Amino acid sequence: MRIVIIGGVAGGMSAAARLRRLSEETEIIVLDKGPYVSFANCGLPYYLSGEIANREDLIVQSSKQLQKRFKIDVRTETTVTEINPDNHQITAVHHGLSQIMRYDKLILSPGSVADKPNIPGMESADYVYALRSIPDVDKIMAQLSQAPTRVAIIGAGSIGIEVAENLIKRGLSVMLIDAGSQVLPFMDPEMAALISHELSEHSVTLKLNTQIDKIDRHQLTLNDGSQIKADLVISAVGVRPNTALAQAAGIKTGELGGIIVDKHYQTSQPDVYAVGNAILVKQLLTGQLVSIPLASPANRQGREVAGVIMGLPRENRGGIGTAIVRAFDVAAATGLNVAQLKRAGISYQAVHTTGQNHAAFYPGGKPLSMKLLFEPQTGKLLGAQAVGKKSVDKQIDILSVAIKSGMTVFDLPEFELSYAPPFGSAKDPVNMIGYAASNLVEGLSDNLQFDQLEGAIKDGAYLIDVRTPGELKRDGKLPGSTNIPLDDLRDHLAEIPKDRLIIVSCRSGQRSYLAERILKNNGFKVKNLDGAFLVYSAAYPERIEH
């Protein structure tokens, strides 16, 4: 049997290696249009700063190594120009020479391509680059060797932010420009705001809600009329499935051109399979077909499709989307965010917690902010996000497993997680956010989101801030609030109006929950400002009174 694989990174090479482990007789041919296969494209930003010092470390396996170890025929700099499913043939071009090649099974793993913003002057500018491959990073490094000082990055998603962090570490002046209202679209706005603050603290100039009208002679004209100088421009506005070849072959595609596959990765054409960033997968929480262009699912899919072809009982179960990015702090998310839940028409409730990555009494602890989304009635887990310097990956990975396993908020306190003071807390942050969410589902607590506070106060709610006067002086005051420190609250019950909704807040939400219970047990109608001052001030820093 001859199996031809189009695309040699992630899904394609995972499929090839697994196929060889399952069969010594099968002929395996991998075709890739680039000069390298099996390279670490996720590591490219870190090569820019020198954090990854050696270019060779980006190349996981060379063509020669793959041939020697796995007996895989790897053909680089080979572009497939046509797929003929009726005849089980493809047409491939290598250095101008065209060849028709037969296949018994064909695996498509073409990945994604970088979106190109339609900006006048961009195509002709020789200092504008994308970052998708080793040749791309070679070109950028060549420009960096010319000692530029000012860099503009278009797009504040994961790639743009990783590039910004690494160029700041290199000592350059960096401006990050995005047409959207926030960085990291996979995060909710108040969580993304924590990363925006961290970027600003490290001298990244953020220009959100901003478009570029023109690029000309190392000068960018913005839609507000201002002009900025840039010695180097890197475009990182996002990616889309690379499926033009598949569409030309009559293979069915869906949203944004992604290839539609069944549970065995079979496309609409016989003996043609597809994996990786180019395909659509079932979002397990909504049942919708979506694109999840991430390395981990692509590698898993490559391994699974090899099993399918070799007769093993493997299925494409779908995914929930789990992502992480370092931007001086670390941001990670899994499952659905609020925008996705609203689009899917799914009822949800949110809870925020802020703590530390390990026991508070042990030195060196770092703040850890978390958000959990769940069904209000059942507590079924729907999504989670976290921002901090340490332990973010651990918490989100735990919650990813819980979400994909169909668990509820009541399962989280039951998790038995490793504890010693240098590594965690006796009540792990996952346990704690489970407790907080369980209180909401069981009606022991009612919360109010940061973006609902202003409307509630206009409707007559009475806002009590239970922080100490010293905290208010140091950090600022919530607009329209009355300060009654938690330890004094019982002494001031007579001053609090019983005919109005009471909203309580503190710094993170923990003390205000205690205040909520005190007031409710004394007959007041109360809601806790979810995430309290830390979440509100991150979302609306301009509204804090000093």
Tens digit of each residue's pLDDT (9 = 90 or more) over 204-214: 999 999 999 99
Q: What is the pLDDT, as a whole number, of residue 401?
A: 98
Q: Is the pLDDT of residue 360 over 90?
A: no
Tens digit of each residue's pLDDT (9 = 90 or more) over 396-453: 999 999 999 999 999 999 999 999 999 989 999 999 999 999 999 999 999 999 999 9
What mean pLDDT comes out for the span 283-287? 96
Alpha carbon distance 154, 175 (integer Å): 9
SS3 assignment, position 422: coil
Amino acid letter, residue 325: V
**pLDDT band per the 50, 70, 90 thresholds, residue 37:** confident
364 to 304, 355, 360, 361, 367: CA distances (angstroms): 42, 13, 9, 9, 10
Share of the chain above pLDDT 70, in %: 100
**Sign of the torsion formed by the C-alpha atoms of 182, 184, 188 and 190:** negative
Q: What is the pLDDT, as a whole number, of residue 62?
A: 84
Amino acid letter, residue 545: E
| Token duo for residue 454 | 């202003």
Of residues 40, 42, 179, 295, which has the active-site annotation? 42
Q: What is the pLDDT, as a whole number, of residue 96?
A: 93
**pLDDT band per the 50, 70, 90 thresholds, residue 46:** very high
Q: Is the pLDDT of residue 500 over 90?
A: yes
Residue count (the chain): 546
What's phi and psi for 331, nearest 5 deg? Answer: -125, 135
Q: What is the DSSP letter of 47?
A: H
Tens digit of each residue's pLDDT (9 = 90 or more) over 256-282: 789 999 999 999 999 999 999 999 999
Tens digit of each residue's pLDDT (9 = 90 or more) over 371-394: 999 999 999 999 999 999 999 999
Q: Is the pLDDT of residue 529 over 90?
A: yes
Judging by beta carbons within 10 Å of its beta carbon (0-12, 13-18, 19+), is residue 221 exposed, middle or buried? middle
Q: What is the DSSP letter of 414?
A: G
| 44 CA to centre of own chain | 17
Comparing 2-6, 8-12, 514-518, which segment has the lowest mean pLDDT? Answer: 8-12
What mean pLDDT comes out for the span 456-477? 97
Q: Is the pLDDT of residue 130 over 90?
A: yes
CA angle, 336 then 341 then 346, to 5°: 125
SS3 assignment, position 81: strand
CA angle, 312 then 5 then 47, to 5°: 110
DSSP 3-state percent helix, strand, coil across the chain (nearest 5): 35, 25, 40
Mean pLDDT over the full length of the chain: 95
With contact defined as beta carbons under 8 Å apart, do 449 and 371 qualify? no
Q: Is the pLDDT of residue 41 over 90?
A: no
Q: What is the pLDDT, as a whole number, of residue 519?
A: 98
Judging by beta carbons within 10 Å of its beta carbon (0-12, 13-18, 19+), is residue 235 exposed, middle or buried? buried
What mean pLDDT comes out for the span 86-95? 97
How many helices and strands (H and E) does the chain possess?
Answer: 15, 30
**Sign of the torsion formed by the C-alpha atoms of 62, 67, 71 and 76:** positive
Tens digit of each residue's pLDDT (9 = 90 or more) over 167-194: 999 999 999 999 999 999 999 999 999 9
With contact defined as beta carbons under 8 Å apart, do 131 and 137 qualify? yes
DSSP sequence for 294-350: -HHHHHHHHHHHHHHHTT-------B--EEEEEESEEEEEEE--HHHHHHHT---EE
Active site residue 506: no
Give the largest CA-CA distance in the chain.
89
**pLDDT band per the 50, 70, 90 thresholds, residue 131:** very high
Q: What is the pLDDT, as a whole number, of residue 405?
A: 97
- How many other CB atoms are there within 10 angstroms of residue 97's CB atom? 8
